[in-house]
Structure formats: C-alpha cells, structure tokens
Amino acid sequence: MNKKIDIQDLGLKDYKETWEYQEELFKEIIDLKIRNRREELHLKTPNHFLFVEHPHVYTLGKSGDLENLLISKDKLAEIGATYYKINRGGDITYHGPGQIVGYPIIDLENFFTDIHKYLRLLEEMVILTLAEYDVKSERSKGETGVWLDVGTPFARKICAMGVRASRWVTMHGFALNVNADLGYFDNMIPCGIKGKAVTSLNVELGKAEINMDEVKGKLIKHFIALFEAEI
C-alpha cells in the first residue's frame, strides 16, 4: 500500500481545466488498478491532493436540481460566473476566489475501503483546522459538510463537500470558505437546502483577510494525521 500523497497547489485555475486534470489523474489510477488485476502485478497506485481556487463558478451534482440556481445564464455572464453540470454527488455549489478547494484523488485501498469514513475524515480535517482559529464547527445530521451553530436559527455552512468514487478511487472534494465573497451564494440555494445560511472564516473572525497558505498548511497537517499518510 502506498500512503504517500503528492500535493499540488494549482493557484487560480479555470474549473473546467481543473476538472479535466482531475479526470486525467483519476483515470491513470484506475487504469493502473485494472492492469494490476489483469496481469497480477503489484504496482503501487499514486495518491494526489490538489489545492485550487476557481474563478466564480456554479456546479451542479448528479442528483442536483437546476432550479436551485436562482439566476439566468444571461445573469451569470453579467456577474462573471460560469456554470457546469458535473459527475460528483450532491446538489448545487459555488466556487470562487477566497475559497480553498481541495481535490483528493486517492486510491482508498491504500488506506481503507469505506466511503462513509472517507467523508467523515474530510469533515474532521476541516473541523480540526477551524478549531485552530477558535471557531467551533460540527457536522449536521444528514447534511454532508461542515457547519456552525447546528440546531439553532443561526446555523450556517462554512465548508461544502461532494465526491465521486469508482473502484475505490476518489475525485472532487471540499470547498472551504476562507475569504469568500458571500454575495455569490445569494444566487443559489446552497446544496439544495433551503433556509440555511453560509459563512466564511474571515467573517467569523471579523477580519478582512485570512492567510490562505496558512489554512492550507493546517488542512494538510490534519489530513496526513487522520489518514495516517505521508508527504
């Protein structure tokens, strides 16, 4: 089993270009697993973790409802945003500058074979990272992602998640609002859940801006510990 993670920071990159790159890495791992099985080989499968920021974009998951996007295509162009229907789980979500998007493209057979556990550990990585900023976050029953003040009228989401897995290989991932422009969330029903607000780390801390690289470092630290991985 290969527990080493190759970490790449792609900077600000178009959503479609990044999606195609994810698909390329995803396919390479799956093709290697198929070859191992067919030829009875034991070649190690690689694991990747991509960090990226996207220009303003709305994405709709396989089970999503387009009605949760509240603006027209003409309006999208007006606000400088794009839209894609994609092959992850979940409903509609938004990505944009000031948001840390993480795409672990890993072979879970290098770690454990449990998608539920995988999602819970991604949530825990975010929860532990936010705790380092004295922000108490938690899970909301039946709603994947990370939330604040669950069970109160002030419940708000700070991190969205949606993944795809095939042959125990993952892609897509999480989006953590760090310095996000929350106005863009007004153009959709986040994750298809009505009546729930969203927030960003800088808003919670009352600061103009949080150091994104510092947050990424904390996320990776907790990911490595939780998955018992190496870099």
Catalytic residues: 191
Question: Is 174 annotated in some ligand binding site?
Answer: yes
* Type of residue numbered 200: S
- Name the percent of the chain in helix, strand, coil, to the closest 5: 35, 30, 35
Q: Which of 15, 203, 10 is nearest to 94 (CA)?
A: 15
Would the annotation count 133 as a binding residue? no
80 is in an annotated binding site: no
Enter the DSSP assignment of 155: -
89 marked as part of a ligand binding site: yes
- Residue pointed to by tokens 């890495």: 25
| 112 labelled binding-site residue | no
Secondary element (H or E) of residue 23: helix 15-39
Cβ-contact 89, 171 below 8 angstroms: no
Question: What is the CB neighbour count within 10 angstroms for residue 78?
Answer: 10
Q: Is 94 annotated as a binding residue?
A: yes
Residue 180 annotated as part of some ligand binding site? no
**88 among annotated binding-site residues:** yes
- How many residues does the structure list for the chain? 231
Q: Is 183 annotated as a binding residue?
A: no
Instruction: Extract the annotated binding site.
Output: 88-95, 160-162, 173-175
Instruction: Extract the annotated binding site for substrate.
Output: 88-95, 160-162, 173-175
